[in-house]
Structure 1
Amino acid sequence: MKRSIYNQLLAWRKSPRRKPLMLYGARQVGKTYILKEFGHSEFENMVYINCYQNPAIQTLFSENMDVKRIMLGLSALSGEEIIPQKTLVFLDEVQDVPDVISSLKYFCEDAPEIVIVTAGSLLGVLNMEGKSFPTGKVDIIHMYPMSFNEFLEAIGEDRMMELLEIPRREELINALIPKYVELLRQYYFVGGMPEAVAAFIESHTPEIVRKIQKDILAAYDADIAKHAGKETQRARLVFQSIPSQLAKENKKFIFGALKKGARAADFENAIQWLVDAGLVYKIPRLTKVDMPIKFYMELDAFKLFVLDVGLLGAMAEIPPSLMLIGNNVFSDYKGAFTENYVLTQMISVPRTVIAYYSKDNSTMEIDFVIQAGASLLPVEVKAEENVKSKSLRQFITVDQAGSGLKGIRFSMKGFIKQDWMENVPLFAAHSFIKDVSQRSLV
């Protein structure tokens, strides 16, 4: 299956300032697959080593950081010659051998001609006690589950995907809304985890897809038990509470919903562990909407979202029939799926920073504020065609009057442009934000 991250890998390889690459992401988002494709397609040969439960690798990287010695050992273990610029050295599951991560500093300094990539979860960084992280000596790319656009291409709807990617095709896209809505309904159920998408393509059997989603969630639970240490039970409580937290009208994370008397201090480490593992996205509140938004983030007030909308459905135990037939998935659950979906489509676009805004002493809230490149966009999310936007209108035309900001509303309606707001169909969320980000760099 094609992945848009491939273009980022190509750009990294061609960069004159290339450093060793660390590809991060939650388990099972497709890191190993895409790097193997990259190695086979773009290089003369590839040295692939899986570091998981690999005593030889642990020994090789624990002795000293002589790069020539390490390369000789990697070549012997793989049976492949390492040729500068022509061989991709791919070390997988590096979170299990922190010394591999530390060694990247020496590859950067002593052997910049060697093209080396690593893949793993952020769990390894959390467990690097006594080891040095190669700060400033590595390039980092974060990989996410498949976007809706990638899903369309994977299931053979190339033309529908291409229409979303080509600017100024709004009228044609609006004419195809029923078809896009049907495909979006499928994506809400399947999500973007590559194994679930592959099963959907091969079988078109909802029960098989749901079983794979459950297996992935079980693997994540095992990771929590293995790596979270004393935060295990708290991390499980937080992760399992997200569907009910998102079903609330006000989606701000409420600690009291976890257990009676729960305080932020009791769970902040567990939440950070889930964020670092890539299992949840933490979206902080803004005290002011201005650039750069990181200056105005209130980190103790936030929303939490699951990394994949398909996994959210599996966590909530929603029967596949309710998601695949009719518009229940869009209209029910108080927009929980829709807001989680929009967040995942936006966060996978490079050069984006995302928060939300709520006004002090008021019920007014802007679902998301996204800094895409040099653009600042207040975003409202509507799960249905009932698109009254009182908060967004008040915010743009009164609170921010004269600021030049224009609101964006993602809804089930087609493209509509007004002087203070632009409506974008939900299925075009990823394409729209990507286009804004790219145009702001020109």
Structure 2
Amino acid sequence: MKLKRKIYNRLLAWKKECGGTKAILIEGARRIGKSTICEEFGKNEYKSYLIIDFAKAASNVKEYFEKYLNDLDTFFMLLSAEYGKKLYQRDSLIIFDEVQMFPKAREAIKYLVADGRYDYIETGSLISIRENVKDIVIPSEERHLKMYPLDFEEFAWALGEETLIDYIKSCFTSRKELERTLHNKAMLVFKQYILIGGMPKSVVLFLENHKDFGSSDQEKRDILELYRSDIMKINARYRSKVISIFDQIPGLLSQHEKRIVFKQVKEGSYAGQYEETFFWLSDSMISNECFLCSDPNVGLSANEARTYVKCYLGDTGLLVSHAFDENELLESEVYKQILADKLSLNEGMLYENVIAQMLTANGHKLYFYTHYSEEKHRNDMKIDFLLSNNSKLKYKLYPIEVKSGNNYTIKSMLAFREKYKGRIGECYIIHPRNFMVRDGIICIPPYMTICL
């Protein structure tokens, strides 16, 4: 089953704009479909394509990069013979898959692009990890492109709901609620997205098995084990900290504040000890980090406090399987409870994680805001996410609060709006109900996050 992915159009744009003058490097977590989309692109858009998977490439192939970069005629002849693919000048694509596993191939891009005969796509994760770049010169002839699990829109396409997506966007633009039955339908698709997530094989198994959650859940557990296996191979200096945070993500997100309190992770620990840990999780794109913005102003990153962080799992479907063991899912029918809005436990965790996932897929860096009241001895203002329009001419903030239930207060949002009223564009509450405007605050159903 083919899945329609937005990144395909971005690859088309790269091919047209660059015309062989730049390679493109697709970064993403493992098992999100990087290789599949590259092969599909090569098959559809070129006369021939050749893929070198450096996770299993033969030693002689790697030797070609060591011996023949000064003799590219021989280099291409050997590759063509090894993979049984004829290469056509300006009409063949060469794909370096899992390029982080052989950094010399990435370094070779400089010479291959300069040669100009073919187009090149690299795929990988952990692209910036020190071990993967320490001995090479990073080529400037690379354009970077991040790829994520299927976003909500792509998931809905897979379910055959293109028209529903168009209707959702239309309602957001015209600031009106969806017709009741279509709102209910959109919420059902959204809850399925929470449960299944956007890992391509998980989605395919769900659809091919008549929307059965069992086979999809097993695939997600296999992926989580793969991630754990990857972690166990990293530098021993910070391996235990990475595995500790990875294992504790569901527990950390189930707390009221959701941010990581390091002394609770391990007694006596502090944020500085986990710098490499979060870099690894972020660079592998297993997680989506959200930092505290202490003073929401021009350039959120200029005011981020990296000692205060929330760590979301990159795919919410994986979080569901991570949070509940297999027997718990099956015996207590967690899936059915979530679909029926009867699982109060951890529902806020899943809602906030999926909104983080959707905002990240839309290209937003994640920030949150809290205000501590000395008088009350607690945080009296909490904004789950802060977006900006990134314009220094008319800079505006867009605060977002995520509510998983129908009954909630908006005290924090009103207080934040009052405190920073000169800087705010629009305020959003994301809730399970239909579109509405309340006290000048735009309240949207979670599926409308695709419009932000």
Scaled by the length of structure 2, the TM-score of the pair is: 0.89
Aligned-partner Cα distance in 2 for 1:168–1:333: 32
**Is contact 1:95–1:125 with CA below 8 Å preserved after alignment?**
no
Is the CA contact (8 Å cut-off) linking 2:397 and 2:423 kept in structure 1?
no
Matching of residue 328 in structure 1 with residue 342 in structure 2: yes
What residue in structure 1 maps to residue 409 of structure 2?
388
Write the deviation string for residues 93-126 of structure 1: whole angstroms up to 9, x where unpaired: 2121110111122233x22452100111125744
User: Judging changes above 3 Å, is the alpha-carbon distance between structure 1 residues 103 and 251 closer, same or farther for their aligned structure 2 residues?
Assistant: same
For the 8 Å contact 1:43–1:87, the answer to whether it is kept is: yes
Choose the corresponding residue for 1:365, options 359, 362, 382.
382
Q: Which string of whole-angstrom CA distances, capped at 9 and with x for unpartnered residues, describes residues 117-150 of structure 1?
A: 0111125744235422425321011110111111
- CA distance, structure 1, for counterparts of residue 95 and residue 329 of structure 2: 40
Aligned residues: 428
- Aligned-partner SS, 2:282: helix
How far did 1:295 drift? 1.3
Give 5+ residue unaligned stretches, structure 1.
434-442
Larger CA deviation: 156-165 vs 46-55: 156-165
- Tell me if 1:408 matches 2:408: no
Letter of the 2:97 counterpart? D
Q: Secondary structure at the match of 1:75?
A: helix
* Counterpart Cα distance in 1 of 2:411 and 2:177: 29
> Which of the numbers 97, 105, 117 marks the counterpart of 2:102?
97
Task: Name 2:4's counterpart in structure 1.
Answer: 2
Deviations 1:205-255, CA, capped at 9 Å, x for gaps: 222111111100001111111234332222111101110110111111111
Q: Are the aligned partners of 1:147 and 1:348 in contact in 2 as well (CA < 8 Å)?
A: yes
Moved more, 334-343 or 130-139: 130-139
SS of corresponding position for 2:233 = helix
The CA distance in 2 between the partners of 1:346 and 1:386, in whole Å, is: 24
Distance in 2 (alpha carbons) for counterparts of 1:70 and 1:379: 53
CA contact (8 A) 1:217 1:311 kept: yes
SS of the residue aligned with 2:422? coil
> 368-377 or 81-90: which moved more?
368-377
Query: What letter corresponds to residue 180 of structure 1 in structure 2?
Result: A
Moved more, 371-380 or 361-370: 371-380
Helix, strand or coil at the partner of 2:380: coil
31-40 vs 119-128, which deviates more? Answer: 119-128
Instruction: State the AA in 2 paired with 1:87.
Output: S
2:441 aligns with one of 395, 401, 421: 421
Q: Of 348, 355, 363, which residue of structure 1 is paired with 2:361?
A: 348
Structure-2 separation of matches of 1:131 and 1:249: 44
Shift of 1:366: 0.9
Q: 1:339-394 CA deviation, whole Å, 9 max, x = no partner?
A: 100000010113x2221111244431110112355463111111112242111111
Judge conservation of contact 2:101–2:132 (CA < 8 Å) in 1.
no
Match of 1:75 in 2: 80
Name the SS of the counterpart of 1:284 in structure 2.
strand
Could you say what secondary structure the match of 1:173 adopts?
coil
Q: Whole-Å Cα distance in 1 between the matches of residues 219 and 11 of structure 2?
A: 28
Sort the Cα spacing of 1:68 and 1:424 in 2 relative to 1 into closer, same or farther, 3 A.
farther
Going from structure 1 to structure 2, the CA distance change for 1:68 and 1:409 (only over 3 Å counts) comes to farther
The question of whether the paired residues in 1 share the 8 Å contact of 2:272 and 2:307 is answered with no
For 2:200, which of 174, 191, 194 is the aligned residue? 194
CA distance in 2, matches of 1:427, 1:409: 12
Q: Which runs of 5+ in 2 are unaligned?
A: 374-378
Q: Which moved more, 1:281-290 or 1:192-201?
A: 281-290
Which residue matches 2:132?
Answer: 128
Q: Percent identity?
A: 25
Aligned residue for 2:160?
156
User: Are the aligned partners of 1:24 and 1:141 in contact in 2 as well (CA < 8 Å)?
Assistant: yes
**Residues 133 and 360 (structure 1), Cα distance of their counterparts in 2 relative to 1, 3 Å cut:** farther
Give the secondary-structure state (helix, strand or coil) at the position aligned to 1:302.
strand
Per-residue CA deviations over 1:2-38 (Å, capped at 9, x if unaligned) read 0111111111111147511111100000101111111
Equivalent position of 1:86 in the other structure: 91
* TM-score of the superposed pair, with normalisation by structure 1: 0.91
1:30-429 matched pairs, under 5 angstroms:
30-54=33-57, 55-63=59-67, 65-66=69-70, 67-108=72-113, 110-112=114-116, 114-122=118-126, 125-128=129-132, 130-166=134-170, 168=173, 171=176, 173-175=178-180, 176-203=182-209, 204-317=211-324, 319=329, 321-325=333-337, 326-329=340-343, 331-333=344-346, 335-350=348-363, 352-361=364-373, 362-372=379-389, 374=391, 376-396=397-417, 398-417=418-437, 420-429=440-449
Listed one character per residue, the Cα deviations across residues 241-294 of structure 1 (whole Å, up to 9, x for unaligned) are 110110111111111222222222333222221111111111111121123211
The structural deviation recorded for 1:419 is 6.4
Q: In 2, distance between residues paired with 1:253 and 1:174?
A: 40
Shift in Å, 1:57: 2.4
1:303-355 deviations in Å (ceiling 9; x for gaps) = 100010011011111626223331034x43161111100000010113x2221
Distance in 1 of aligned mates of 2:316 and 2:347: 15
Counterpart contact for 1:200–1:206, Cα < 8 Å: yes
How far is 1:62 from its partner?
2.2
Q: Pairwise CA RMSD of aligned residues?
A: 2.2
